Amino acid sequence: MDPRIKAPSDQPAIKVVMMPRDTNGEGTIFGGVILSLMDQAAYVEASRQAPHRYVTVAFHKVEFHRPVFVGDIVTLTARTTHVGRTSIQIHVTVWAQRRTEPDVMFEVTEGDVVFVAVDEHCKPIGVFGD
């Protein structure tokens, strides 16, 4: 692993209660809402590594293992897995805590988000100034 990568934080990147406005026609939370939260959690982690403007270039292998329901508390954890010259890859895991089982956390999904660091003109720059 790149020695410049900061160690994983013990804190979640994001924690949020899912609301009725986020549901699909089946009564579960839209997958797109979860993807948006994953993008945000990855950005939090990327910014913790190096404070730049980042643009999302890819999501890798996101599979939904369990549904998320209204009222679930969703926790997203993020850790840096790779840093290239201008790109940074963040692994995000999404957990749901149900109202009915407050002591249990279910893994909902996980995946990798890839960002490119850019300057004010949206031109790629070195993540660590290289």
pLDDT digit string (tens) for the chain, length 130 residues: 677 888 877 788 999 999 999 999 998 999 999 999 999 999 999 999 999 999 999 999 899 999 999 999 999 999 999 999 999 999 999 999 998 888 999 999 999 999 999 999 999 999 998 6
Amino acid letter, 125: I
Return the pLDDT at 41.
97
Question: Which CATH class name applies to 14-118?
Answer: alpha beta
Return the pLDDT at 57.
97
Angle, alpha carbons 107-59-31 (nearest 5°): 50
Return the pLDDT at 1.
64
DSSP E strand boundaries for 18-72: 53-64
Contact 18, 68 (CB under 8 A): yes
Nearest to 38 by CA among 72, 81, 75: 75
Return the pLDDT at 122.
94
Nearest to 59 by CA among 110, 113, 108: 113
Return the pLDDT at 4.
81
Contact 80, 6 (CB under 8 A): yes
Amino acid letter, 83: V
Domain segments of the chain: what residues? 14-118
Return the pLDDT at 11.
81
| Dihedral angle, C-alpha 32, 94, 125, 3, nearest 10 ° | -170
Return the pLDDT at 105.
93
Instruction: Tally the residues of the chain.
Output: 130
Contact 32, 24 (CB under 8 A): no
Main-chain dihedrals φ then ψ at residue 60, nearest 5 degrees: -115, 135
**Structure tokens of 114?**
């890839």
